Structure 1
Amino acid sequence: MSNVITLSRSFGKLVSFGKEVLEKEGHKLFFPPEDCLPLDEKRITNLIQKFNIDAIVVGAERITPNILDTLGSRKIVAKHGAGLDNIDIRYATKSNIAVTFTPEANVQAVAELTVGLILCIARRIPKACFSMKNGDWEYFMGKEIYGKIIGVIGTGKIGKAVIQKLSGMNVNILVYDIVTSKEISSLQNVKYVDLKEIFTNSDFITLHVPLTQNTYRMIGENEFKLMKASSYFINTSRGSIVDELALYKFLSSKKIAGAALDVWENEPPKSISAKLVKLDNVIPTPHIGAYTEEAIYRMGHQCAMSIIDFFNNKKPKYLANPDVWKNLGY
């Protein structure tokens, strides 16, 4: 059928189901050596040419116009994940290359991690854990989230799931999005407000918007200076949505109480991202939002089915650039 190169670190490795589905349908998979990942543009283009690649399964690698030109028309880039900020979709559409993604696969995993991080930072669980491992017996004073105000920025699939999970914990939830949801508006103790009110009044603020030109560094000094000194910031969306230098300034000076961060402008962290990791009032995790067995299973299956459907002349369910389908004559 087709030759598929897998750039994602997790596709077919942590959970083999997606790989097995493709191979059963006759697709041939190529896996670059693990110690070479992530690959740069030159290596990717060389591999596309060497193995006559028809489809790319991509994780965090940047898919550039040069890579898309090398891949060629009537091919597919399947994102093993939900975020599309690393793929030049406009150029892919112009080149008649389909781009698919897995927008529903990791919703519960990311939402659960978000709630977990809120609880961890409120009760200082990581500090208590490491203290005991060091042989100490020390009490760590935390805070309850009961009765607190939690601000949720972005009410898409993940934001909605976070709201639903928090709704049973007796908290008041302030939400913001450029598009309001009647379903969310109807929930008890949930209220749509503007960003200023969220940053001014919330005890915990959690971020759930995609990275686009409009959201790049949408959260910065103007927002952080509104926060209470006792409040916390959580980000499980994309690092570049936040001005990390501004966040570092407010955290290091204790003008805000703390942050829990799963995503970074530079991954692995370097420069200002690395400085944030080292702060004692930051809980850092290495972009593990989607890393549950169940989410990786769903991501692998959806990725595989997108490729199978595409080469069977069937429109993939999660096609990010539907104009391509029209351009290809289907």
Structure 2
Amino acid sequence: MKFCLIDAGIFIDKPELLDPLRAIGEVEVFNGIPAGTEEVIERAGDADVIAFGLMQFTEEMLDALPKLKVLQFIGTGMWNFVNVDYAQSRGIKVLNIDGYGSNAVAEFATAMALALAKNIPPADRVLKEDRWSIDGLMGKEMKGSTVGVVGTGSIGRLSAEKFAALGAEVIACDIYESDYLKENYKIQYKSMKEIFMEADIVTLHMKVTEENERIIDYKLLSLMKKDALLINVARAELVNTEDLYKALISGNLAGAAIDVYDSEPPTARDYQLAQLKNVIATPHIGYYTQEANDNSIKMTVSSILAAL
């Protein structure tokens, strides 16, 4: 049996984590996203199992891999990277992992909010430009601020805990209310409209469904306070990018921090959004810590073995 980690070399910091796969077959590891179908075939044309973490798998690529039995995404949200229904119609099991980086992403959301609230990126630019000035750099404290957490699953729950520990008043929105958060942190659940009207910072932690795709639109964004901030380290598909850009350049929204994009690598429109001075944009690194990385490889190996 042949296993191919087709683009995941960057994640293999500890090769010994792949030993359970080596015990039952040949393992090949590649770095970087393949340039196209031809390179996919070069790397994995004879693979029974492919694990991937960065690339988009097209139907053409799947058609070119006749031996493929298992396609394992090293992350959450495989539906954004491959047509799962099409793969399954070809007899390919498509798998992902969940929960490997919940704390990493929750910490990242908190860090993004603090960086925006404290004006850290523009303050850094002042010194890099050989200037000394505090004009326009007054920050806001997290203590006493109202933070709206939209989605209180594993990552949202941890985010709520971290903001509460900083002294923020945390409110939340989710169709499934967390008794743990209500009992231990006195967090109130409110409607989406109320969250956007009341919060100084809104942080998104929902999974994407047909019902909530592009739910964050100009109508919701226009309800926010003029000095409010939006954090999206969840899924780009939750937000209407055009409406977010409009809100940011019009002054309806003070700032945004973004770690996820409709297409990765991003489109020209995403880069235009990233270039705004009131935006912090990062290349989808919220999950990327040593601890979460090790968890992801361990869980990937376990998922593959369970599928064989």
Relative to the length of structure 1, the TM-score reads 0.84
Distance in 1 (alpha carbons) for counterparts of 2:180 and 2:10 = 34
Among all aligned residue pairs of Structure 1 and Structure 2, give the percentage whose two residues are the same amino acid: 30
Matched residue, 2:128? 133
Q: In the alignment, is the contact (CA less than 8 A) between 1:73 and 1:96 conserved in 2?
A: no
Matched residue, 2:304? 307
When residues 107 and 8 of structure 1 are mapped into structure 2, their CA distance, relative to the original with a 3 A threshold, is: farther
Structure 1: runs of 5+ lacking an equivalent: 312-330
Q: In the alignment, is the contact (CA less than 8 A) between 1:21 and 1:301 conserved in 2?
A: no
Matched residue, 1:29? 27
Matched residue, 2:74? 80
Q: In the alignment, is the contact (CA less than 8 A) between 1:73 and 1:95 conserved in 2?
A: no
The structure 2 residue matched to 1:236, chosen from 230, 233, 239, is: 233
In structure 2, what residue type is equivalent to 1:109? Answer: A
Distance in 2 (alpha carbons) for counterparts of 1:133 and 1:205 = 30
The structure 2 residue matched to 1:218, chosen from 215, 220, 238, is: 215
Structure number with the bigger relative contact order (C-alpha 8 A, sep ≥ 6) is 1
Secondary structure at 1:127's aligned position in 2? helix
Secondary structure at 1:276's aligned position in 2? helix
What is the root-mean-square deviation of aligned Cα atoms in Å?
2.2
Q: In the alignment, is the contact (CA less than 8 A) between 1:155 and 1:175 conserved in 2?
A: yes
Structure 2: runs of 5+ lacking an equivalent: none
Q: In the alignment, is the contact (CA less than 8 A) between 1:18 and 1:300 conserved in 2?
A: yes
In structure 1, what residue type is equivalent to 2:111? Answer: G
Matched residue, 2:267? 270
- After TM superposition, where is structure 1 displaced by more than 6 Å over at least 4 residues in a row? none
1:42-87 Cα shifts (integer Å, max 9, x gaps)? 54356443xx211111213233444445445882111111122223
Q: In the alignment, is the contact (CA less than 8 A) between 1:11 and 1:300 conserved in 2?
A: no
Task: Tell me how far 1:176 sits from its aligned partner.
Answer: 1.2
Q: In the alignment, is the contact (CA less than 8 A) between 2:205 and 2:234 conserved in 1?
A: yes
Distance in 1 (alpha carbons) for counterparts of 2:215 and 2:273 = 18
1:256-311 Cα shifts (integer Å, max 9, x gaps)? 10001111123233322111111000011111011101111110111112222333
Distance in 1 (alpha carbons) for counterparts of 2:19 and 2:305 = 12
Task: Tell me how far 1:134 sits from its aligned partner.
Answer: 2.9
The structure 1 residue matched to 2:57, chosen from 38, 53, 63, is: 63
Distance in 1 (alpha carbons) for counterparts of 2:11 and 2:216 = 36
Matched residue, 1:114? 109
Relative to the length of structure 2, the TM-score reads 0.90
Distance in 2 (alpha carbons) for counterparts of 1:250 and 1:92 = 39
When residues 12 and 251 of structure 1 are mapped into structure 2, their CA distance, relative to the original with a 3 A threshold, is: closer
Task: Tell me how far 1:214 sits from its aligned partner.
Answer: 2.8
Distance in 2 (alpha carbons) for counterparts of 1:269 and 1:65 = 21
When residues 93 and 186 of structure 1 are mapped into structure 2, their CA distance, relative to the original with a 3 A threshold, is: farther
Q: In the alignment, is the contact (CA less than 8 A) between 2:259 and 2:281 conserved in 1?
A: yes
Matched residue, 1:99? 94
**1:40 and 2:70 are equivalent in the alignment:** no
